[in-house]
Every structure is written in C-alpha cells, then in structure tokens.
C-alpha cells in the first residue's frame, strides 16, 4: 500500500475499487464532478495516481494501491482508510475482471483469485464499511454487476455470471436491510461497455456485437450514480438492454437457455 497523506475534512468520502480504468475510473470522475471527495484503490498505483492528479483540482483524492485477490487486502485497506482519517459514506464495489475460456481451461488458483475479488472482497469491504455508511445518514452502496446477472449464463461465463448474480442479490438484500437507515443500495448492470475488459481477457478481436449494443463508460457511470441517488435497487443502462431484460423475463427458461446457447458462441467464440 502507498504511504499516507492527509485527507481534508468532509462530510464523507466515496471509496471506488477498481478505479484505475474503465467504469471505475469514470465513476470516480463523475463523483469528483459532483464534489464528492474520493479514496481510490486498485492494483496499479501509477494509473491511480494519474487519475488522482486529474481529479484533485476538483476534490481531495487519496490513493491506496491494493490487490483485492489477497484475502488480507480488504481489512488492510479499511485500516489504512481509517488511519488517513477518511470517513466512507459511499462504497463503490467495482473491481472485477473476466476469466477467458471454459471452466477447466484455467487452473484453480485463477478461479480462487477471481472469486476473492468478485465475491469475497465485496462482501468483506461492505461488512467492514457498512457501520460508517449507516452512520452518515445518507450512505450509498453502488455494486457494479453486469447485464449477465439478468440473463441465462453464457458458454464461458462459468463463474463470471454467477458472481455478477451474487452482486445483484446481495444488493437487493442490503437495500431491504438498510432502507430505514437512509442507505441506498444499487446493482448497476451494464451490457457491453467500451473499456479494457475485453482487452484484458484477450477477447476484443473475437467480439461479434453490433456497435449499437456498446455503451460508453461515462453513460454507465452517470446512470449508476443517478439511479443510486434515486434509490433504485437495479439500474440497467441503455434502452436496448432494458427492452431485452423485459423480453427475457417473459420467455420460458428453456427457451431463454436455448437462445443463449445459440448466440453465445457468435458473441464470444471459444476453443
């Protein structure tokens, strides 16, 4: 973790995980535009510091580099936040990635790291920070899930879709538990979004998706934050994805599974 520096007093900070690029970086920019002080975390300290330098003209920004695949990282991160004097009012659980290929293509260590980042770290950070979020009186939790959580799982999404489904159900339960404490909890479920996601998984060149289905990170970030402020538990950016969600809910499960089986290899060919 990076060395501490002073945080200016405020009514509460937003902690954004996975803030070094993509949707996480854009969420940080949007909160900065709205005047919310930030604590940014991800593995890549250089990327975080570059973003922090960009945003410090608007709000106080702290950088704490951490690898959430390490089971010890969530507790150390929260400890460091407290040591720097920050009070977290908003938690954005955004850190995540995809593992390319079918289930047996990756070794078990890759899968355990994935589950730690996508499920374990999210659960622990929320548990550790929820008291301060509740104490704020207008606390917020924004969990960046995926449209994959709303569809039958695709070929090659053996753990990704279940992890994102967990985020959705986790958000729903937290929203009910904390509604009387002024806490808004939202699952943000974007579809295909222009970011580094498919570059990291090595599937960018294989994607066969209509340009009309791609979302911009700024659009996704605004939709998530606006929906969270309204108290929406589920946010699906883009009218095409909202229409698709409505249609899929009306289909028999066997039919939906059949359509996914037919289309998944067109979208993401696998070995």
- Residues annotated as catalytic are 160
**Contact status, residue 133 vs residue 78, Cβ threshold 8 Å:** no
Phi, psi (5° rounding) for residue 61? Answer: -135, 130
Radius of gyration in angstroms for the set of CA atoms belonging to the chain, rounded to a whole number: 18
- Which residues fall within 8 angstroms of residue 181, CB to CB, at 6 or more apart? 134, 137, 139
The closest alpha carbon to 267, from 146, 102, 154, belongs to 154
Phi, psi (5° rounding) for residue 34? Answer: -90, 5
Q: Which residue has the tokens 């066997």?
A: 254
**Longest CA pairwise span in the chain (Å):** 56
**Contact status, residue 249 vs residue 236, Cβ threshold 8 Å:** no
Q: Residue 202, SS3?
A: coil
Q: Residue 23, SS3?
A: helix
Q: Residue 168 CA to chain centroid, in angstroms? A: 11
């Amino acid at each position: 973790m990076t060395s501490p520096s002073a945080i200016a007093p405020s009514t509460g900070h937003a902690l954004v995980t996975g803030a070094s690029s993509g949707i996480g970086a854009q969420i940080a920019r949007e909160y900065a535009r709205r005047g919310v002080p930030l604590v940014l975390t991800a593995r890549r300290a250089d990327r975080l510091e570059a973003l922090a330098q960009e945003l410090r003209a608007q709000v106080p920004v702290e950088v704490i580099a951490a690898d959430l695949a390490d089971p010890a990282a969530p507790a150390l991160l929260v400890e460091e936040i407290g040591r720097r004097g920050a009070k977290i009012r908003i938690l954005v659980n955004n850190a995540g990635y995809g593992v390319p290929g079918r289930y047996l293509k990756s070794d078990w260590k890759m899968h355990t790291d994935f589950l730690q980042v996508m499920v374990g770290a999210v659960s622990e950070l929320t548990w550790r920070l929820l008291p301060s979020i509740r104490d704020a009186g207008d606390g917020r939790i924004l969990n960046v899930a995926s449209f994959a959580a709303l569809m039958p799982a695709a070929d090659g999404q053996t753990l990704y879709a279940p992890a994102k489904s967990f985020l959705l159900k986790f958000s729903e339960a937290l929203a009910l538990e904390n509604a009387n404490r002024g806490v808004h909890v939202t699952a943000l479920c974007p579809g295909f979004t222009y970011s580094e996601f498919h570059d990291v998984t090595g599937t960018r060149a294989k994607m066969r998706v209509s340009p009309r289905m791609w979302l911009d990170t700024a659009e996704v970030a605004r939709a998530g934050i606006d929906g969270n402020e309204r108290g929406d538990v589920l946010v699906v950016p883009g009218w095409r994805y909202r229409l698709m969600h409505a249609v899929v809910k009306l289909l028999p499960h066997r039919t939906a599974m059949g359509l996914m089986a037919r289309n998944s290899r067109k979208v993401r060919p696998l070995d």
